[in-house]
Amino acid sequence: MRTDKPPIYPIEPWSITETSFDKEQNYRNETAFSLANGYIGTRGTFEEAYPFDIETGLEGNFVNGFYESERIRYGEANFGSPEFSQSLLNLPNMKETKVYLEGELFTMEEGKTEEYKRILDMKGAVLTRSLLYTSPGGRKAEICIKRLVSFEMKHIMAIEYQVTPLNFSGEIKFVSRLQADVENHTRKTNPIVDYGPFGRRLSPVLLEGDRQAFYYQGITKGSRRTMACGGSHRIYGGAGALRHTVRTGELDAELVLTVQGMKGKPVVLEKMLCYATDLDRKPEELKEFVSDTLDLAHKRTFQGLEESQRSYMQNFWKTADIRIQGKDSELLQQGLRFNLFHILQSAGRDGKTGMGAKGLSGEGYEGHYFWDTEMYMLPVFIYTEPEVAKKLLDYRYKTLEKARERARILGHQKGALFPWRTINGEEASTYYPLGTAQYHINADIAYALALYLQVTGDVEYLREKGAELFIETARVWADVGSFAACRDGKYCICSVTGPDEYNVLADNNFYTNLMARENLKAALGAVEYLGEHDRDYLEELKHRLDFSLEETELWKEIIDRMYFPYDKERGIYPLDDGFMMRKPWDEERIPEEKRAWLYENYHPLFIMRHRMSKQADAILGMYLHSNYFSEEEIRRNYDFYQEVTLHHSSLSTCIFGIVACGIGYYEEAYQYFSQSARMDLDDYHNNLYAGIHGANMAGTWQAVVNGFAGLRCQNSRLSFKPSIPEEWEWYSFKIRYRNAVLKLTISRQEAEFVLEEGEQVVFYIGEKEIAIREKGGNYIEKI
Amino acid sequence: MRTDKPPIYPIEPWSITETSFDKEQNYRNETAFSLANGYIGTRGTFEEAYPFDIETGLEGNFVNGFYESERIRYGEANFGSPEFSQSLLNLPNMKETKVYLEGELFTMEEGKTEEYKRILDMKGAVLTRSLLYTSPGGRKAEICIKRLVSFEMKHIMAIEYQVTPLNFSGEIKFVSRLQADVENHTRKTNPIVDYGPFGRRLSPVLLEGDRQAFYYQGITKGSRRTMACGGSHRIYGGAGALRHTVRTGELDAELVLTVQGMKGKPVVLEKMLCYATDLDRKPEELKEFVSDTLDLAHKRTFQGLEESQRSYMQNFWKTADIRIQGKDSELLQQGLRFNLFHILQSAGRDGKTGMGAKGLSGEGYEGHYFWDTEMYMLPVFIYTEPEVAKKLLDYRYKTLEKARERARILGHQKGALFPWRTINGEEASTYYPLGTAQYHINADIAYALALYLQVTGDVEYLREKGAELFIETARVWADVGSFAACRDGKYCICSVTGPDEYNVLADNNFYTNLMARENLKAALGAVEYLGEHDRDYLEELKHRLDFSLEETELWKEIIDRMYFPYDKERGIYPLDDGFMMRKPWDEERIPEEKRAWLYENYHPLFIMRHRMSKQADAILGMYLHSNYFSEEEIRRNYDFYQEVTLHHSSLSTCIFGIVACGIGYYEEAYQYFSQSARMDLDDYHNNLYAGIHGANMAGTWQAVVNGFAGLRCQNSRLSFKPSIPEEWEWYSFKIRYRNAVLKLTISRQEAEFVLEEGEQVVFYIGEKEIAIREKGGNYIEKI
């Protein structure tokens, strides 16, 4: 566990600033400065379109949910191995804008660049680059480029490119290009896969340009999906007539806009860029849709969209921001805001898409959605932006039918099994021991759904989608295991992989069994609720799902008799049945440069035969369902897992930090939190280039709220156990709960709870029930 | 368990006869009539070279050890996944011989064929086809074609093609062809693999012909291995001058030999065919070698080689034959002889090659060598043809260095890990849960070696190769597991796969732990033996292997404290730690047509989560090391495994039969044996077309000798427990033991032991020691 890296960017409260153009760090910075709105994602590349090599940068433009497929080849295929891949496809780039100052190309690789700044403004969701430029020919200009991906208009990315000639008046030429000869950098970004996508995977259907716009429509070679993109341009400022020329090639279109610049007067190019796919419109409607959307965007103007960004963010930060006062608080606060900003950007919010492990910031993990969404991101959204949470749950509901089909392939005659990794709802993991075997995904989705329902009180959602999701996921749990005589008739679940990817195909993975039991309880609860409140709908469900109440009898049996591995001597829950038997791990035998890259350097059998853990697994279960365990019990387990966990997953430290708080290990908690908070901002894993670590980003919010403040929502009971790290004077955050917004401010002496919105709120501190019954009312707990 | 299939071929003591040409059954018959000598293998195809489609036949000519490689693609590759395949390559065919009777092509698809017979003579190791043919034009001829693959000359296959015109005198034309445009039928013969070989993989380097010979030399595209083949022709009989013409194409060569036939006088074409590879000679020497070898073969003449075959077989049968008198004895005896004949043909005997699971009879399993060699075939050879056994062990010794490298890849700093499947000594299994995870291969090789040493008393071999093999295999066992506090400090081995391929990546597989302990004991014994008898060599070994006697202290600890899963209530040894916990198997849920093809129809997770077993696993261990278990204990285990075993592997029933004998379940034993004996001859698995099931073939010999007669050789003690199935009057067989040949004849009343060769033999019946101390002496035990 390291927290010793110096900050990469200056410490600032609301922004990330790059103060010089550094080609060496370009690839990493492209991720840090990436923008997205849950639909479009674009990497922080330059408008100049430098021809960087594959180790230096990756131009990347993505649309959530838009993927390419290729036939997957296997050494030996298993029954049920996915036949086709799903890879988030890198789409045509339209950001490219070359500027000529009286014929001289602006490029930071030549000429002189001064006062360079690139600022990611997290309050405004705008990326701004500004600099003073002197060309080799001595022409000076001030250049300021703003970029945003609009939260208001999901299909729009916008650029405002401002050039102010400082020591000359003369021709300013913008060459704006749509470049469709693009491909994923699979060998670099997903080196482990061998099925691509390789090469250009979009075939152009239409490519055209006119005086101020260009348009491209293409179809993927494998998945046969259609996408369209177009850009539209306006120029403001400058003297003299505007000249346009247009050139369209086979795979690109170039618009040349020339204007007479006047010394000291800014010339502004407003570029509106639109992406759309057949997920939104029929292919034949795309062209008109893009054109209309671009018109609308110009009507809104860049400035209008910029203001809209600011108000969107203001609304977000109003609830989601965490404020900290104390040692390193500026450092941590910047990290926290960077993290929250990126997960907000990354989450699909149209009910048709999820959230990739790397958001929309890169090609890593092929853009797939994993359990990260439900276990790491969703809790944050549930308490801060419940509408986003709901849309992410909608996505799972939308793919329920595919999960049912998958369950059949796995031999379950009833129920649904969600895929371990996916974009379109079908399983995309090609190595089942680390993929499909992670059955816990079902329970994770059910957990997030249950949390959503408890926190929001959205009973409608339970009726519309929730109950069905609970029932269908639960049915797989009722089929996968059995009551084993050799374990006193307890219910055992064999041959699954828990979250810990170093212990695969285990029997009775503690986390899985614990979460499966909750899944069954949630399903049972849903059925009982419907039985009381909506008999008609229950009857409909029973009919539609071929579901009978007898099944719930089995569920009850399983809930009562779920088996958990237990080591009596140590008083701990081993990770799984075989864990305590494995060989002790001897890190000394592993050369240092290989330690964090076990699967790259060691055979899976070597890894799985050792008693060590990649990441929080049993510990995660004890955090989520801490109500079942005494503090002493959690402490014993924490002590044990602390020894055997290598934290080789970015999903680990934040959870250990939370659990450490719960048992009074505040110093360790603070260490874990510190590293989590700045993990990406300071690139602790040295792989930010490939994309953000969304789960850890969300985990840091949890580390404060669920960790230091001890928030839990279990059995529909909101509770806190406030604490504060020694290093801090106070910290403050808000959560949404039912119709309330509750603000907490925790200092070294006390925790103050203020009801900022809503009529009342009830919560617990330990066994003490606290109710605040008027808006603005407060409660103070001494600590 | 079925034994109800009617015999496919007539029941005959020493031959397999086909009485009509049946295209529907051609693919299967090609395997049944395949010939080999452990080096060359050729399928039972016709000289007419009918253009059968891929479902009807496969022309196949193979050289043991000669393989093609292709880069293997994986969905996701693991560290240590083999990068290149090894596939026994289908080589150019030279058997093709078309015959024209006064211009009319002989083909069984036209004209009239009478008195058709194809006979595999298992006493002569010759395949003979004879028939009376009437051409559409009314020409009658007697045709008789003999084929052999020479045991005397390993590079030689020989054909004698005799045509006797019956109602005409006129031109007889032979068109003999070398056809090098060949490819493996991978999609059909190994449908599960996706890396080939596809297409023609041999590139011609040289192709030429002269008046009576043709020659081809080619190099494989992937593995860059060179092979050569050539044919040489002589014609005898006939009147008039012999005319030759030759034509060589890019991928074939055709020799046309024309002679004047006389009514009633046979014309005979003697075709000598030679295959050789760079495993035997340098590429530049191959041409001369082939030419010289062909000359030599002609000098020996077909008849000479035929006689040599007969005497080779006579020598083999003299010891290896099993005679049975009683119900169904002819049926069983034919099955047994067919089985022994085929394994004799299949075994590599040059110390550079092993024995494929399908011998040299087809492309199934890519021609790979598995544990089948050591656990099924070798025991038969050890007791009947110890020189062949020794050569097979030599092959493993020869690949020891590669096994050392593989152990390093698996993370073992010392020792050697043999590959699960291979040709060249490198691991070729692309799916490690059913491949590399089968660590038991190491102990299997050590078992066969120990048996060889005990039975032959070949102390030299222990010194030359055996000790090193024992030590290096043992070292992996000493590293793979650990003493687990949670199991009373017993030695546990986690995450390996036992023989049972339905229970993968298990902890404490009973068979593996048992066999590993024996491997360690054998290594310890070898070290102790050398310490007493050959200190110098021991010192050299210690130096060469960086081996210290301290390691043996750990071995002793492990031997003392090896852990075995045990179910106290049932008094049985579960297959592995998790076995009793798995879901009960409900065959009713499986549609009948899918029952025997689980991996083809069900996801691996579905299979591994159920409590059932593909094949003999724990039971096999209890057979091999029955000395550790009471009869009562074995009975309990047998009863248990009898219930849960599906026998979906051809390696299963013979072992159950043997164990059934040991506990007095003679009726079941007889059933199991009956099915094993005729499994291939009656094609019980419906896949004989892809090649023989060598392991089961050898297993049937074991079923009689180790089963009914109860032979064991444990702790250097030869013992018997003679029994006889109710159906039989008597049966008789011989074994070699040290310098003796011991003949047993077991009737319903008594077992007679006769020392046929050698000066003395000592053996046990129960605890009773019996010694026969003169050649010809006997001992009779009442039963």
Give the bridge partners for A93, in sequence order: A179
Question: Min CA distance, A415 vs chain B (Å)?
Answer: 15
How many whole angstroms from its chain centre is CA A692? 8
Cα-based distances in Å from B458 to B391, B452, B760: 13, 8, 17
Categorize the per-residue pLDDT at A55 as very low, low, confident or very high, splitting at 50, 70 and 90.
Answer: very high
Residue B347's identity, in one-letter code, is A
The span from the CA of B33 to the CA of B23, in Å, is 14
- As for the ipTM of the complex, it is 0.95
Residue A197 pLDDT exceeds 90: yes
Tell me how far apart the alpha carbons of residues B450 and B456 are, in angstroms, rounded to a whole number. Answer: 10
From the list A480, A494, A600, the residue facing B578 with the nearest CB is A494
The residue of chain B nearest to residue A496, with distances taken between CA atoms, is B605
Query: What's the mean pLDDT in A491-505?
Result: 97
* Residue B531 CB contacts under 8 Å (≥ 6 apart), including other chains: B538
Tokens of A210: 């006119």
* Interface contact B580-A481, CB threshold 8 A: no
Strands A768-772 and A761-765: antiparallel
Distance of alpha carbon B9 from alpha carbon B335, whole angstroms: 11
Tell me which chain B residues have a C-beta less than 8 angstroms from the C-beta of A578.
494-495, 507, 577-578
Sequence-ordered strand ranges (E) for B448-566: 482-484, 490-492
For residues A285-292, average pLDDT: 98
Collapsed DSSP state (helix, strand, coil) of residue B33: coil
Q: Which of B411, B482, B584 sits opposite A603 (nearest CB)?
A: B411
> Which residues in chain A are contacts of B413 at CB distance < 8 A?
589
Q: Which tokens belong to A32?
A: 């840090």
Query: How far is the C-alpha of A546 from the C-alpha of A414, rounded, in Å?
Result: 9
Residue of A nearest to B489 (CA): A581
Tell me the pLDDT band of A179, cut-offs 50, 70 and 90.
very high
Cα of first residue to Cα of last residue in chain B, in angstroms, is 29
Q: Which of residues 478-507 of A touch B (CB under 8 A)?
A: 480-482, 484-487, 492, 494-496, 504-505, 507
B contacts of A582 (beta carbons < 8 Å): 482, 484, 494-495
**Predicted local confidence at residue B665, as pLDDT:** 96
DSSP 3-state helix, strand, coil percentages of chain A (rounded to 5)?
35, 25, 35
Cβ neighbours for B120, distance < 8 A, ≥ 6 positions apart: B15, B16, B17, B32, B33, B44, B127, B341
Do B584 and A505 count as a contact with CB atoms less than 8 A apart? no
Give the H/E segment covering residue A159. Answer: strand A156-165
Q: Are A662 and A626 in contact (CB under 8 A)?
A: yes
Q: What is the pLDDT of residue B675?
A: 86
Confidence of residue A377 (pLDDT cuts 50, 70, 90): very high
Q: How far apart are CA A652 and CA A326, in angstroms?
A: 25
pLDDT at A94 over 70: yes
pLDDT at A239: 79
Can you give the pLDDT at residue A3?
65
Q: Residue written as tokens 């177009």? A: A230
Residue with the two structure tokens 């000289």 = B47
pLDDT at A2 over 70: no
Mean pLDDT per 10-residue run, chain B (783 residues)?
A: 81 97 96 98 98 95 97 92 97 98 96 97 98 98 98 98 97 97 94 91 96 96 97 89 88 96 96 97 97 98 98 98 94 96 97 97 96 97 98 98 98 97 97 97 98 97 97 98 97 98 97 98 98 96 96 98 97 97 94 92 97 96 97 98 94 94 95 92 92 96 97 96 96 97 98 97 96 97 93
Of A208-212, A303-307, B703-707, least confident by mean pLDDT is A208-212
Q: Does A554 touch chain B (CB under 8 A)?
A: no
Residue A729 pLDDT: 97
In chain A the first and final C-alpha atoms are separated, in Å, by: 29
A123: contact with B, CB 8 A cutoff: no
pLDDT for the residue A78: 93
pLDDT at B2: 61
* Helix, strand, coil share of chain B (percent; to 5): 35, 25, 40
Q: Which residues of B touch A590 (CB under 8 A)?
A: none
Q: Which helix (H) or strand (E) holds B16?
A: strand B15-18
**What's the per-residue H, E or C state across A80-98?**
CCCCECCEECCCCECCCEE
How far is residue B441 from each of residues B357, B367, B647, measured CA to CA in Å?
14, 17, 20
Minimum Cα–Cα distance from B77: chain A residue: A192
Please report which helix (H) or strand (E) contains residue A696, including its range: helix A694-702
Q: How far is B515 from chain A (nearest CA, A)?
A: 19
Q: What is the pLDDT of residues A417-468, one digit of tens each?
A: 999 999 999 999 999 999 999 999 999 999 999 999 999 999 999 999 999 9
Name every residue whose Cβ is closer than 8 Å to that of residue A292 and which is 6 or more positions away in sequence: none
| Residue whose entry in the numeric block shows the structure tokens 């999960």 | A403
Which residues have C-beta within 8 Å of that of residue A435, sequence separation ≥ 6?
A420, A421, A427, A429
φ/ψ region of A640 (left if φ > 0, alpha if ψ in -120 to 50, else beta) reads: alpha
Query: CA of B495: how far to CAs of A654, A691, B437, B498, B577, in Å?
Result: 30, 34, 7, 10, 11
Instruction: List, as one string, the DSSP characters of A72-140.
Output: PP-SBPPTT--SB--EEPPPPB---EEEEETTEEP-TTSSEEEEEEEEEETTTTEEEEEEEEE-TT--E
| Token duo for residue B662 | 């040991």
Q: How confident is the model at residue A238 (pLDDT cuts 50, 70, 90)?
A: confident
Residues 174-233 of B with CB under 8 A from A: 192-195
Q: What's the pTM?
A: 0.95
A217 three-state secondary structure: strand
Q: Measuring CA to CA, how many Å separate A681 from each of A28, A331, A563, B134? A: 10, 10, 42, 89
pLDDT in tens, A111-148: 999 999 999 999 999 999 999 999 999 999 999 999 99
A501 assigned to active site: yes
**pLDDT score of A744:** 98
Confidence (pLDDT) at A4: 75
With an 8 Å Cβ cutoff, is A410 touching chain B?
yes
- At A242 the pLDDT is 80
For residues A724 and A707, give the distance between their C-alpha atoms in angstroms, rounded to a whole number. 10
Q: For residue A708, is pLDDT > 90? A: yes
Q: Are B720 and B764 in contact (CB under 8 A)?
A: yes
CB B741 within 8 A of CB B757: yes
- What is the phi-psi region of residue B738: left when phi exceeds 0, alpha when psi lies from -120 to 50, beta otherwise? left
Q: What is the spatial distance between Cα A155 and Cα B54, in angstroms, rounded to a whole number? A: 54
